[in-house]
């Protein structure tokens, strides 16, 4: 059930006023600096009571840079709807001279850490959404679809796959002609989500602008087609006139629309209750 923008704005404002101080917890130790998850809880939540669904987000930035605050607006919204929201660090080229493959290793480690520690934090690990934008959208999809590029310190018996994917103009094609091929090279068949869609892929929300110069609409439509062919759900929304990064708060109309779309998708999966007008 979709709802009014006025309700959405009220929820965002309320979230900013009533949010608890987030926990910032280390999920990976590295010789050149530790990596953290910033965990935001619903207002007044007692983590010893019934667990609630969670969403973990990976920032965009071409695997080159960025900060976990990128998805803070989405986190603020979701906590006021009753979910736990997690903002993840990962190594980038600027911060650690990291390759895209290192980025994916970190993203998988973050999801595995959350699945392992989540019950102690009040997370319902049977309802874990993984999301991100642009290159962070690639990482979100790849945690579920890519079997390679695992940190050797990880417990591989713990799944890095999501129960739902929230993809904001995601990089899904790393093949020739796709994003990042000059860095991925001949590894693309093992790294590109589009080339690894399989039966049992998580239900996916795919949001993209019609004028995105990095993520062609045709690629998004093909992704949906392949998902449907393997029997997996993929909700694709194309935002007329939207450019790359269209969903960010500096584009208020698109930002509001994508928040509504995200909420509606999560309600349909039982991650959220229907909103009250």
- Distances in Å between the Cα of 137 and the Cα atoms of 35, 70, 190, 207, 240 are 19, 12, 17, 10, 20
Q: Which domains does the chain have, with CATH numbers?
A: 5-268 (3.40.50.1820)
Q: Cα–Cα distance between 119 and 50 in angstroms, integer?
A: 10
**Phi and psi at residue 196, to the nearest 5°:** -135, 20
Please report the pLDDT score of residue 9 as a whole number.
54
Average pLDDT over residues 140-151: 98
Please report the pLDDT score of residue 19 as a whole number.
58
Average pLDDT over residues 98-107: 98
- Distances in Å between the Cα of 19 and the Cα atoms of 16, 49, 80, 81, 130 are 6, 18, 8, 12, 21
Average pLDDT over residues 115-138: 97
Q: Which of 166, 159, 160 is nearest to 130 (CA)?
A: 166
pLDDT confidence bin for 1, thresholds 50/70/90: very low
Please report the pLDDT score of residue 49 as a whole number.
82
Q: Percent of the chain, pLDDT > 70?
A: 92
What confidence tens digit (pLDDT) does each residue in 172-219 have?
Answer: 999 999 999 999 999 999 999 999 999 999 999 999 999 999 999 999
What confidence tens digit (pLDDT) does each residue in 22-72 have?
Answer: 899 999 999 888 999 999 999 988 877 889 999 999 999 999 999 999 999
Classify 249 as helix, strand or coil.
coil
Q: Cα–Cα distance between 21 and 25 in angstroms, integer?
A: 13
pLDDT confidence bin for 6, thresholds 50/70/90: low
Q: Which of 130, 191, 135 is nearest to 163 (CA)?
A: 130
Average pLDDT over residues 92-108: 97
Please report the pLDDT score of residue 7 as a whole number.
54
Q: Which of 238, 265, 242, 267 is nearest to 253 (CA)?
A: 242
């Amino acid at each position: 059930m979709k709802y009014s923008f006025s309700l959405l704005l009220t929820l965002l404002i309320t979230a900013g006023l009533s949010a608890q101080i987030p926990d910032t917890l280390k999920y990976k130790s590295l010789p050149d600096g530790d990596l953290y998850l910033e965990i935001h809880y619903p207002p007044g939540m007692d983590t010893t009571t019934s667990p609630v669904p969670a969403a973990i987000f990976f920032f965009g930035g071409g695997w080159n840079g960025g900060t976990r605050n990128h998805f803070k607006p989405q986190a603020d919204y979701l906590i006021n709807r009753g979910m736990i929201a997690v903002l993840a660090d990962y190594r980038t080229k600027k911060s650690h001279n990291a390759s895209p493959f290192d980025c994916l290793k970190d993203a998988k480690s973050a999801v595995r850490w959350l699945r392992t520690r989540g019950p102690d934090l009040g997370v319902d690990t049977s309802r874990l959404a993984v999301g991100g934008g642009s290159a962070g959208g690639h990482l979100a999809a790849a945690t579920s679809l890519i079997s390679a590029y695992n940190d050797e310190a990880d417990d591989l018996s713990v799944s890095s796959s999501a129960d739902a994917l929230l993809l904001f103009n995601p990089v899904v094609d790393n093949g020739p002609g796709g994003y990042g091929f000059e860095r991925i090279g001949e590894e693309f068949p093992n790294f590109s989500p589009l080339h690894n869609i399989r039966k049992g892929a998580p239900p996916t929300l795919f949001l993209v602008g019609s004028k995105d110069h990095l993520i062609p609409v045709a690629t998004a439509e093909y992704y949906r087609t392949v998902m449907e062919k393997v029997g997996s759900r993929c909700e694709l929304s194309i935002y007329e006139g939207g450019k790359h990064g269209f969903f960010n708060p500096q584009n208020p109309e698109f930002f509001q629309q994508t928040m509504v779309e995200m909420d509606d998708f999560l309600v349909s999966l039982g991650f959220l209750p229907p909103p009250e007008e």
